[in-house]
Structure 1
Amino acid sequence: MPLSGSFFSKTFVFGFDARTSRGPMRDKRSWFIRIFDTRNPDVVGVGECGPLPGLSIDDMPHFETVLADVLERVEGQEMPQDAEAWVRQLVPPGFPSITFGLETAMLDLVNGGRRVLFDNDFVRGVPIPINGLVWMNDVESMLNQANQLVNRGFTCIKIKVGGCDFDEECRMLEAFRKVHDRNRITLRLDANGAFAPNEALAKLKRLSAFGVHSIEQPIKAGLPEMADICSASPIPIALDEELIGKEQSKDALLDAIKPAFIVLKPTLHGGILHCREWISKAEKRGIGWWITSALESGIGLNAISQFVSAFRSTIPQGLGTGSIYTNNISSPLKVVNGCLMNDPQGTWELL
């Protein structure tokens, strides 16, 4: 079954003022891999490579050249028995988004090129609970966003902190909690490394008054203080950026820092196979986890959602990014009452 592959790129346009810890974003580019058997070219597997500007280790000028080289190696090969292990051999280290794109394209091809990668409950329409994401803005706008998300049926809200005056952020969280009880609405925070190490514990103590489930990355990744902060924090710490580029040192990182949670993004953290290893190693140590999309289009979001559904986790996942673009790829994915769902009768835009 000789394989052949190609790729194309598409730039997606945000439908709102998207502010991130790395500055404002107006658009986001992704590359899409198409894999097919030359004897049956109408059946095509599609995967998305979407490195995040300023964050992904493979956000580099020669990204497209590396992607073309990888697909050149695919040319003429037979269908592998183990697609994920095969991809690991083809993609050079340091390119997690290409790993994820090729893994998911192959899984799609193996299952008939129908955007079905794993035959599980999500594919059949069973919803996945997700957190509602509050995008960075002034505190009044963020509070309004949070309230609107609760009104839309979300029971877990994630709010970015560290981008505004800290006292104002605390007043915002206090106002939110006056309306939304901690026993009914779960509150997650994400600092994106905004706190100085010598101020982090004091700020975490203040934030703990608001019934916070967890906080992601209170200080920048790679700082030696992270382990002590995880140990002493009154709020459980979740690692995110800390995991980038650490696919070969999972055990050492988890044993040294001992976080309460890890937050996995397949595009950033090594693709499907490495995320499965992160989960296995975390669970052996009693460390919790959830998975988050990284501004992928519907193609990447669908793959991540099917992957996480295989674990039957009940904790809300970070998969609420399907409606952020004005020109997203049409898909059967939809958000209903704080859950992401796949409509089994829906159709995908042809790529």
Structure 2
Amino acid sequence: MEGVLKDIQFSYQPYLLKFKFDAGTSRGVLKEKVSYILKAVSKHNPEVIGWGEAAPLPKLSIDDVRNFEEVLEGTVKKLSGMSVMDSESEVLEWVKTNISENFPSIHFAFETALLDLLHGGKKMIFDTPFFHSEKAMPINGLIWMGDREFMLDQIDKKLAEGYSCIKMKIGAIDFDQECDLLGYIRKRFGAEKVTLRVDANGAFTTKEALEKLKTLHEFDLHSIEQPIKQGQLPEMESLCRLSPLPIALDEELIGIHNLEEKRRLLETIRPQYIILKPTLLGGIGSSREWIGLAESMDIGWWMTSALESNIGLNAIAQFTSIYNIILPQGLGTGQLYHNNIDSPLRIEKGEIKYGIGKWGLEKKLA
């Protein structure tokens, strides 16, 4: 039967990623993280393999649950032996129909494994100039939370590496110290040279948020992500309306699956930007819905990886590359691990590109 990926067999393998440093967020410190690498093979062409990654983010993903692996194993068994129409739209619809929306990272893993399989098992999720090493994308340099010296050292390194956009996580140390660090960058580089973003991960209280945003505005920041915890819609709407500093929604989008619910959220809050993390939001199909709604309302957006290995990062980068990218994206997390899976992804002078190199999947997952 022509035009069908027939009799697909799925399997998975846990993979423990180890950070090069203690990765601090407002929700705690990460030293290591488990990802689940998904493999898709058609019985009729077993040499062609599609790869995906399910990587729920601890304390943030809605599918960060105790029985996650049990659910993944059950999904793999249930869907093995099925066939999928041989087209991108049919793959996305098949995943949406067959996998619960309560497990967004599993959605993303199956989407990307099947799209890889669809394109011949070449790690090509989308056929774009990015994949063919013809076009790079700008990314931000990420400054992780920690003590002042640790953060200062990261800032110096990112600036020396040529990043034109720096994103600093805030909310873990004293606010005045964080402002001092922002001031340190601004004394060396004006806003025309280096774009500054901050990410509060919901660390501010509703009472203090507006005053802190006014203080942060003095540093010529591009935007702040999620200043208060998600789920406080009237307060977030008020902040977006009154803040002198543009606000980007991040955690606020998690757990919202229905298209009309997405529309209502954006119409209610009217943010200046939204942040898209496919692993947390239900994958490619769901992220496309968010992008379509945002663009129809003149809301800006950018894509961010969520501590996936290079398998997930590759898929997110290729997905991002189907759009006309102007803003720096949050796709620099491949450098975080001692034991990441080898890939052609490269970061040079504040850009990510698909360079020359081999994948190390078979070696790492043997």
CA distance in 2 between counterparts of 1:350 and 1:321 reads: 18
1:204 aligned partner, one-letter code: L
Q: Which residue of 2 aligns with 1:115?
A: 123
2:235 aligned partner, one-letter code: E
Q: Which residue of 1 aligns with 2:14?
A: 9
Could you say what secondary structure the match of 1:296 adopts? coil
1:326 aligned partner, one-letter code: H
Q: Which residue of 2 aligns with 1:275?
A: 287
CA distance in 2 between counterparts of 1:334 and 1:315 reads: 19
CA distance in 1 between counterparts of 2:317 and 2:265 reads: 26
Correspondence list, 1:244-283, <5 A: 244-248=254-258, 249-283=261-295
CA distance in 2 between counterparts of 1:141 and 1:71 reads: 42
1:27 aligned partner, one-letter code: E
Output one character per residue of 1:288-340: Cα deviation in whole Å (capped at 9) or x when no partner: 00000000000000000000000021110000011111111011111101001
2:60 aligned partner, one-letter code: L
Matched-pair contact (CA < 8 Å) for 1:195–1:218: yes
Shift of 1:114: 1.1
Shift of 1:170: 1.4
Shift of 1:176: 1.5
Output one character per residue of 1:161-205: Cα deviation in whole Å (capped at 9) or x when no partner: 121111121122112201111111000010110111011000000
* 2:304 maps to which of 264, 268, 292: 292
Correspondence list, 1:88-167, <5 A: 88-125=96-133, 126-167=135-176
Could you say what secondary structure the match of 1:222 adopts? coil
Percent identity (aligned):
49
Could you say what secondary structure the match of 2:306 adopts? coil
Matched-pair contact (CA < 8 Å) for 1:143–1:176: no
Q: Which residue of 2 aligns with 1:195?
A: 204
Matched-pair contact (CA < 8 Å) for 2:101–2:107: no
More off after superposition, 293-302 vs 131-140: 131-140
Matched-pair contact (CA < 8 Å) for 1:189–1:215: yes
More off after superposition, 165-174 vs 154-163: 165-174
Q: Which residue of 2 aligns with 1:346?
A: 357
More off after superposition, 59-68 vs 238-247: 59-68
More off after superposition, 298-307 vs 144-153: 144-153
Find out whether 1:242 has 2:225 as its counterpart: no
CA distance in 2 between counterparts of 1:203 and 1:313 reads: 30
Q: Which residue of 1 aligns with 2:66?
A: 61
Could you say what secondary structure the match of 1:2 adopts? strand
2:96 aligned partner, one-letter code: R
CA distance in 2 between counterparts of 1:40 and 1:79 reads: 14
Shift of 1:350: 3.1
Matched-pair contact (CA < 8 Å) for 2:9–2:42: yes
Could you say what secondary structure the match of 1:197 adopts? coil
Output one character per residue of 1:242-272: Cα deviation in whole Å (capped at 9) or x when no partner: 0000122100100010000000000001100
Q: Which residue of 2 aligns with 1:225?
A: 235
CA distance in 2 between counterparts of 1:332 and 1:260 reads: 34
CA distance in 1 between counterparts of 2:223 and 2:152 reads: 18
More off after superposition, 70-79 vs 54-63: 70-79
Shift of 1:143: 2.5
Correspondence list, 1:181-192, <5 A: 181-192=190-201
Find out whether 1:179 has 2:188 as its counterpart: yes
* 2:325 maps to which of 308, 313, 322: 313
CA distance in 2 between counterparts of 1:287 and 1:115 reads: 31
CA distance in 2 between counterparts of 1:71 and 1:240 reads: 30
Shift of 1:147: 2.4
More off after superposition, 171-180 vs 301-310: 171-180
Give me the CA root mean square deviation.
1.0
Shift of 1:150: 1.3
2:336 aligned partner, one-letter code: I
| TM-score calculated relative to the size of structure 1 | 0.98
CA distance in 2 between counterparts of 1:239 and 1:47 reads: 26
Could you say what secondary structure the match of 1:268 adopts? helix
1:122 aligned partner, one-letter code: F
Find out whether 1:330 has 2:342 as its counterpart: yes
Shift of 1:42: 1.2
Could you say what secondary structure the match of 1:98 adopts? helix
* 1:27 maps to which of 26, 32, 38: 32
CA distance in 1 between counterparts of 2:161 and 2:302 reads: 22
Q: Give ranges in structure 2 of 5+ residues lacking alignment.
A: 1-5
